[in-house]
Amino acid sequence: MESLIDDGTDALDAIPAADLRLLVEHTPAAVAVLDDELRYLVVSRRWLEDYRVSADELRGRRHWDVFPDLLERWRDVHRRALRGEPSCGDEEPYVRADGRTDWVRWACRPWHRRDGSIGGIVLLTEVVTERRLARVAADASLARLERLLETTQDAVLFVDRDGFVSRMNAAARELFGERIAAPMTELLPQWHSDISVGRDRRPLTRATMARGATGKPFAAEVTWTTLDDGDDVRAIAFVRDATERERRHQSAVTSERLATLGRAAAMFAHEVANPLTGMSLQLQVLGETIAGQSTEIDAALDALRSGVGDLTTLLKEFRELSRPATTPHDRVAVDHVVDRVLQAQALPLQRANVDVARTLTPAWVIGDASKLAQVVLNLCRNAAEAMHSGGNLVLETRTDERRAYLVVRDDGCGIPPGFDPFALFATTKAKGTGLGLPIVAQIVAAHGGTIEHAPAEGGGTVFTVSLPAAI
């Protein structure tokens, strides 16, 4: 400590040794000992450094005179200490005369003479301006990080050392539901094996399966890194729903497959069209020449006409399959398309004893209305043919934020396990060509969509067409 007494008085000796020890033991940083008139007796070197003063500037002077910019609240603290009332504070602002603000952690307490009277006060202070500014900057950075995490489209999960979710952002809550304190393995079943290969704290990315808020699995891309900073957080995982990317990949694969089929169909149609036209003309001439001569001849002519008709239908579908996919560009209401097709097919469906139900909500896409009408028509015909003695046909349109859906459900014979109804010539019908559903898949793929099928509850089949929703 720096002594400021130069008049030979015994004021310093008057401070009890126990209080001096207490002063030394509990000093957080800077210390000043003042008498009962608030004149400086002793200060620490740190006091001189923190308040940018010299010992000569303090010697024999009152504290209030050295710091005339002291607020009245500080003067009141000193008065209360002289009356025996200690005070303290944590990170309070102290504005200097030049306008600068320091942040101070402080304590003010009285010291007593040997006779028990109050001899003055002890000021203990710590200038914590740098620490406060660093914390304010860190808080600001944390707030920016919080905003970033809450607005990012990726789901962000914080995982504690026991493998439980300790925190999640808005995207994670939307994807997984509110899952604080849930085991990570409920969200990402492969988490334990994944985290074991990421112990070197390098970010790692892996394609995996996740389980969403409804419990339904979905394809996900997960990037995670482990932490070792003494915090309770063990790892951070960034999860991206890869369903859309997988859908686009499957759509591209389907488009390429159908393009190959289309080229083969074009070649077939070209080779068959001319001979078939000739056969049809010859059959017409033959019918005009020998029709009615006998029952056997008429039956043979009918069989030939039926065969040529089937080949003509097959050729028409091959030509449809071979046409290059056009880029859709119009806003189309899928629900309106369904309504028009059902109106046009009302009589054929009635004759087939098919009862139609519809649940149509607005579903807008960018597309070709005529092509989408063909999708609806082919799916309705396929359903009607699957219900040999009639049945129920249900059509539904709906949307979510990104997709528009067409759902066609029948209670027919269903699709055998392992059978691919979209394969060329694949059919379970006695007179089917096996081209109707491949044409549907081709049109859907050209619209950037996908089509899936699944068994219907209670029997039959559900076809679900998913298309990008129009913005």
- Cα–Cα distance, 157 to 159 (Å, whole number): 6
Q: Which residues of 114-140 are buried (b: 16+ CB within 10 A; e: fewer)?
A: eeeeebbbbbbbbbbbeebeeeeeeee
Give the number of other CB atoms < 10 A from CB of residue 59. 15
Tokens of 73: 């609240």
- Cα–Cα distance, 93 to 18 (Å, whole number): 32
List of residues 6+ apart from 275 with CB closer than 8 A: none
List of residues 6+ apart from 44 with CB closer than 8 A: 1, 2, 27, 30, 31, 32
Question: Radius of gyration over alpha carbons of the chain, in Å?
Answer: 43
Question: Residue 57 in 3-state DSSP?
Answer: helix
- Would strands 391-399 and 354-360 be described as parallel, antiparallel, or unpaired? parallel
Q: What is the CATH number of domain 327-471?
A: 3.30.565.10
Residue with tokens 């059919």: 427
- Which residue in 434, 438, 442 sits closest to 314, CA to CA? 434
List of residues 6+ apart from 105 with CB closer than 8 A: 28, 29, 89, 90, 91, 92, 125, 126, 128
Q: What is the CATH number of domain 2-132?
A: 3.30.450.20
User: Is 152-241 a CATH 3.30.450.20 domain?
Assistant: yes
Q: How far is CA 346 from its chain centroid?
A: 44
Question: Residue 39 in 3-state DSSP?
Answer: strand
Residue 25 is predicted with a pLDDT of 44
Residue 88 is predicted with a pLDDT of 92
Instruction: State the distance between the two ends of the chain, measured CA to CA, in whole angstroms.
Output: 75
Tokens of 403: 């997709």
User: How does pLDDT run along the chain (471 residues), one tens digit per residue?
Assistant: 555 555 444 555 555 655 664 554 456 568 898 999 999 988 888 888 888 889 899 999 999 999 988 889 899 999 999 999 999 988 888 776 677 888 888 999 999 988 999 999 999 988 888 888 888 887 888 788 778 888 888 888 888 888 899 888 988 998 899 989 899 889 988 887 656 544 556 677 788 888 888 888 888 888 888 776 555 667 888 888 877 676 666 666 666 765 666 666 666 666 666 677 777 777 777 777 887 788 888 787 777 777 777 667 666 666 665 565 565 678 999 999 999 999 989 998 999 999 999 999 999 999 989 889 989 998 998 999 889 889 999 999 999 888 999 999 999 888 888 888 877 666 766 566 667 788 888 888 888 889 999 999 888 999 999 999 986
Residue 197 is predicted with a pLDDT of 47
| CB-based burial label for 402 (10 Å; 0-12, 13-18, 19+) | exposed
Residue 350 is predicted with a pLDDT of 92
Longest dimension (CA), the chain: 153
Strand partners, 121: 34, 110
- Provide the CB-side half-sphere exposure for 470 (13 A, CA): 15
List of residues 6+ apart from 387 with CB closer than 8 A: 352, 353, 354, 393, 410, 411, 412, 413, 460
List of residues 6+ apart from 149 with CB closer than 8 A: 156, 169
